[in-house]
Amino acid sequence: MTVSTRGKGTAGAKTTRDSASEKKAKMNEGFTAAERCAERLARESEAERYARDDRDLTLGEQVLRNPLIRDLSIQGLNPFKLSDLQSVLGLREFYRLLPDVDLKECYFEGAWRFRKDEFVLANWREMDIDIEDMKHEVKWAHPELVRHMRVYPPGKVDVKSLRTKEEIVRMFWELTYVPAEVYLTAVAGAHVLRSVTAGDVGDDPAVVREYLEWACRAGLDASVIRGLAEVCGEEFIDEAAPWAAGGGHTDVVDLLASEFGAEIEADCLYLAAMWGQDAMIDHLVEEYGVDPNGAAEYGSALHYAAEYGRVHTVKHLVEKHKVDIHKRDMDGDTALDHAEVFGRTECAAYLRELTYTQLLAGQYRGDVRERLLCHAARGGNDAMIDLLVERYGVDPNGAGENGGWTALHEAAMEGRVRTVKHLVEKHKVDIHQRNGDGETALDFAEMTHKTALADYLRELMSTRPPTS
């Protein structure tokens, strides 16, 4: 079974108990402000904390010191579980205790580490898109159910009927502070729940299958999932299991496996990695024996985690499950390649540093070293280029299995002026060398509008004839 990421709602585009050292490390990632605030408040005595004037505290600090939020352990509530999300949003809507900005930054970005680009209407005034593109983003944040009909929550209108950006934002304000995939899952889960409660599901196998998948993704009650699964075929139940895994619902995965014989295989691991579900990854590996290194056509769990920018999951797979960071997909790409292509800079930096560390330990074959040269050039790491060329004898003009791309092509494509000059002036690379499509480094500099770099290469090419 091939995992499809658009069909089940990626809107435009995968938790364990942490040790003390892991918690400390996390403070240096996306949750630093809230973590520091909580730590500081914990050190203060109860009397000192509540004697302080609220005006001396930031809004985020007031949220963290609030007993209701603190005692509910909001960070442990799973946004992909409909009932958990309703509890979180209830703090905002009914108790007025959790402002939108804190919900977005402390809960979704901080505790659950969603990327900033997953909030499709955040900073909408600064978005450089026209109204039709905005409508497209909002449309894909709503599920297609019942034979390709777009489902909107009660009280919402079809986004196509709105005429201005302001109208779109007013109607779909939730998308400014809730990640699109969480919103989509909640809308679909709530629709399924309403339909099941009203007895409107019917017996159309295609509809029941879709409802089961969304019920699993939203972590609905076991009675709802059991009722839908009882009228589904074995194949449909197998296909629903990965969506439960992607939502992080171990209870649903176990129910499908124990009561309905669902096959818990690598597809479950891929979706768990895609959405940063580290605890689910552990569950699949430890309880069902799923191979964390297993690879499908589009790569391994590490490829999926890197492509979607799930830094904590990339680290979890590497450091706990010892996955192979050099495993390639059907196109010959590694997880590092995926991270770089999709602009996941944190993942790329971690994987690149790990690669270099292993290189220094002598853990690489010659063909891998050639590939690393291109990565070093792409990242502007001149010292690593020197190490590869001078200590390991890697050809600075080598292209290997890279479509004819050399280190110079990579550096030029990324606009690395210093690295281009380093390759040209120290390692004497061939500035006229072409890749598999007949393109030179100058072509890339011009294509990406790197004017200074293009001027440098153009002048150099006019004075240095091609080598025979």
Over residues 381-401, the mean pLDDT reads 83
Confidence at 44, pLDDT banded by 50, 70, 90: very low
Angle at which helix 82-93 crosses helix 180-198, to 10 degrees, equals 110
In SS3 terms, 340-367 reads as HHCCCHHHHHHHHHHHHHHHHCCCCCHH
Strand pairing of 149-150 and 299-300? unpaired
Tens of pLDDT, residue by residue over 332-345, are 788 998 998 899 99
Average pLDDT score over residue span 323-334: 85
| pTM more than 0.85 | no
Contact between residue 293 and residue 323 where contact means Cβ atoms under 8 Å apart: yes
Other CB atoms closer than 10 Å to residue 225's CB: what's the count? 28
Joined tokens for residue 16? 């364990």
Find the farthest-apart pair of alpha carbons in the chain and give their distance in angstroms, rounded.
Answer: 81
366 within 8 A of 388, measured Cβ to Cβ: no
Q: Give the position of tokens 């992080």.
A: 248
**What pLDDT digit, counting tens, does each position of 63-92 carry?**
544 444 445 567 788 999 999 998 888 777
How confident is the model at residue 158, as a pLDDT? 94
Q: How confident is the model at residue 363 (pLDDT cuts 50, 70, 90)?
A: low
| pLDDT tens digits for range 203-259 | 888 889 999 999 999 999 999 999 999 988 788 999 999 999 999 999 999 999 999
Higher pLDDT, 371 or 232: 232
What mean pLDDT is reported for the chain? 82
Flag whether pLDDT at 323 surpasses 70. yes
Q: Which domains does the chain have, with CATH numbers?
A: 364-463 (1.25.40.20)
- Between 184 and 399, name the one with better pLDDT: 184
**Proportion of the chain in helix, strand, coil states, percent, rounded to 5:** 60, 0, 40
Has residue 377 got a pLDDT over 50? yes
The dihedral built from the CA positions of residue 437, 439, 443 and 448, taken in this order, carries a sign that is positive
Q: Is the predicted pLDDT of residue 276 greater than 70, yes or no? A: yes
Residue 347 has pLDDT above 60, yes or no: yes
Instruction: Supply 19's token pair.
Output: 């040790």
Query: Worst-scoring range by mean pLDDT, 85-89, 146-150, 247-251, 356-360?
Result: 356-360
HSE at residue 168, side-chain half, CA atoms within 13 A, is 25
Residue 339: the pLDDT is 93
Using CA atoms, how far residue 88 sits from 84, 98, 128, in Å, is 6, 9, 31
pLDDT at 350 over 50: yes
User: φ and ψ at 391, to 5 degrees?
Assistant: -90, -40
What pLDDT score does 341 carry? 86
Neighbours of 232 (CB within 10 A): 19
- List own/partner pairs for 1-6 with CB under 8 A and 24 or more apart: 1/238, 1/239, 1/242, 1/267, 2/296, 2/297, 2/298, 3/242, 3/267, 3/270, 3/271, 3/296, 3/298, 5/274
Cα 380 from Cα 361, distance rounded (Å): 22
Q: At how many degrees (to 10) do helices 234-246 and 250-260 cross?
A: 160
